[in-house]
Structure 1
Amino acid sequence: MTLLPFRCHPLLKSRVWGGEQLLEWNKSLPGGNTNRWGESWELADLPEDIPDGRSIIRDGPLAGQNFHDAMVQHTPVLMGDLPRSPHGGFPLLVKLLDAQRNLSVQVHPTAEYAAAHPGAYKKDEAWLILDAKRDSMLYTGLAEGVTPAELHAAAQRGQDLEPLMPPVPAIPGECHVLPSGTCHALGAGILVAEFQTPSDTTYRIWDWGREGREMHLDQALACMSPGRAAPPCTTPAHADGLEINIVANTPAFVLRTLRTPDQRLMQSPPSDRPEIWMILEGEMQCETMHWTKGDTVFFPAQRDVAIEVAAGSHWVQCHLPIGQERLA
């Protein structure tokens, strides 16, 4: 048995730092400009105790089904030999984030912390920068010589934490890999594709002077690592006229960006693992399905399809490697 690739309905999340730029990525944002839409969860299968955390399939014979239930019922076809997450779900969460304002300075649980605290889930993530306003910045760790305890103490005093976290220019096309425990923040004016292990556990440390949201200083200190995340690393490659860049290589996922100068037919044969594609530019056709900018497509392990790719198309291909960990 084989299945065609399919999309899921986006799960839209209103955030204090969000805006309306997801409209440019073909997301239907309810409420006009009365809401700040910060996140579009493109493919999600979070634990049951996280509200509104499981995608509904949009296309094909499984349309209307909960992605988690479909995965359980059709494991060999959809998953191949890919291990599930520790909570029995799909081991990846894919999002689009529209940061019109700074996200909080925050930390996500490490595996050790999650193992000792039920309800906390490890989160390793990668931000692929899709768009960035001039002079926009992000923050990927502590300044040299600054310890987690010093940052914690500064936050308790209500101090501006920006001097303790050196800014990094946001450059479209670069990808920042943020292991769990990294103190980080996405700055204003940046839109990213986020690929992460399945978690929605965030410990906020500082909210740039905004009031009304809970901070989690002690939990953050217990998880926080010193230092900074590694700078972006891109490995270029070319194959059959495709421009290919490996932008993230982690135990949980590998991200490649691909661009084609010409129209082509691409084959996607059966595999032992599923794949995920996100369309950044251009358009694609797969049988009766038409994919455009902003579409995220799940390719089942047992697939055998040909995709018509328009000239100039640009997309992300997420591969789930053989060494994929069972991440806590």
Structure 2
Amino acid sequence: MTEPLFLKPYFNPKIWGGRKLKTEYGFDIPDGKIGEAWIISGHPHGPATIENGPLKGKTLREAWHEDPAYFGPQHSQEFPLLVKILDAEASLSVQVHPDDAYAAAHEAKGELGKTECWYILQADPGSYLIYGHHAKTREQLKDMIEAGDWEHLLRKYPVKTGDFVYVPSGTIHALNKGIVALETQQSSDTTYRLYDYDRTDDQGHKRELHIKQSLDVTTVPFQDPKLDITKQQVPGGQITTFVKPPLSPHFAVYRLDVDGTMPFTQQAPYTNVTVLEGEGTFTADGQDYPIKTGDSFLIPNQIKAWQFTGKLAIVTSTPGADA
């Protein structure tokens, strides 16, 4: 019998982080400003650790390389997705990510580009993102950056709890203060900072900016992705489809609102699961596993059918065909 792989996150301190990962989701986080919980991660900079079953104690990255049967037919060199919860106590830097081709040419071997998306878990009243820009040409983009004309360059995008935002590589963006988000992304730790509000760390140092790379990879002009978010009533609740291939080639992301028992059959090589709210049970191969707010686990390839029971809000993701 194959069990789901329950995961212990890797916690990442950030200058903009806070303490909500502990107070809201029950994580045992280190002291200080903790900005990110890498809850489903095979990235070498912060792999999650398997907490149960025969793979207990291995990182997800180790399991990907050493126990391939858990993930089905593998196409990628590394585990392709990374799921985080971000606590923006202060605003993140204004940044942009490369696509796969630029990352392969300019970053460490094996590093992917980064297309990502956010499901907004909490947003203070009046919250907004930086999402996109107003430059019409690359020359105008360069001129506005060099002039520091951030007010006219950067596009403000209001958000509220429950919103979903898709951020393709090449999109200038930033989470701003007062937002907690679940992020599903390609497994990449490459970020090009364009602007960081001239702030300094505890030693009085400004963080590094990456103006040339940002100019290289930013999509000009910016266009909003055309999403097709759908809701479907199913036995045991509702499934919201946020994004999936072909619009999003790297991943599909869903929200499950479970009220009763919601059955599933396998549709992907494996499925990533994060419980946002509630308590209940995950059942597979006749075995029940209690689940609660803050739990993350991977349903491996050997599990062909399963069900969720209880009153639960869950976000799941599956890899795209390129992964």
The answer to whether the 8 Å contact 2:243/2:252 transfers is yes
The answer to whether the 8 Å contact 1:267/1:304 transfers is no
> Once the 2 structures are TM-superposed, how far is the Cα of residue 54 of structure 1 from its aligned partner?
2.0
Extract unaligned runs of 5+ from structure 2: 201-205
Q: How does 1:169-188 map to 2 (within 5 A)?
A: 169-188=158-177
Q: How does 1:230-245 map to 2 (within 5 A)?
A: 230=225, 233-245=228-240
Extract unaligned runs of 5+ from structure 1: none
SS in 2 for 1:193: strand
Q: Does 1:215 align with 2:209?
A: yes
TM normalised by structure 2 equals 0.88
Runs (4 or more) in structure 1 with deviation over 4 Å come to 266-272, 304-308
CA distance in 1, matches of 2:80, 2:99: 16
CA distance in 1, matches of 2:288, 2:230: 34
Aligned partner of 1:251 in structure 2 is 249
The answer to whether the 8 Å contact 2:40/2:272 transfers is no
Aligned partner of 2:116 in structure 1 is 125
> Once the 2 structures are TM-superposed, how far is the Cα of residue 156 of structure 1 from its aligned partner?
3.2
SS in 1 for 2:6: coil
> Once the 2 structures are TM-superposed, how far is the Cα of residue 307 of structure 1 from its aligned partner?
4.2
The number of residues matched between the two structures is 307
Q: Deviations over 1:50-92 (max 9, x none)?
A: x3x222211222110122222222212x1112422xxx11110
Aligned partner of 1:136 in structure 2 is 127
Given candidates 271, 282, 289, the residue that maps to 1:275 is 271
CA distance in 2, matches of 1:233, 1:130: 20
Q: Deviations over 1:245-267 (max 9, x none)?
A: 11122111111111123x32x44
The answer to whether the 8 Å contact 2:95/2:193 transfers is yes
Letter in 2 for 1:166: R
Q: Deviations over 1:182-241 (max 9, x none)?
A: 111111111110000010000101012313101110111111112144266421111124
CA distance in 2, matches of 1:232, 1:14: 32
Deviates further, 191-200 or 3-12? 3-12
Q: Deviations over 1:275-299 (max 9, x none)?
A: 0111111113244632211211100
SS in 2 for 1:25: coil
TM normalised by structure 1 equals 0.87
Identity of aligned residues (%): 31
Cα RMSD after superposing both structures: 2.1
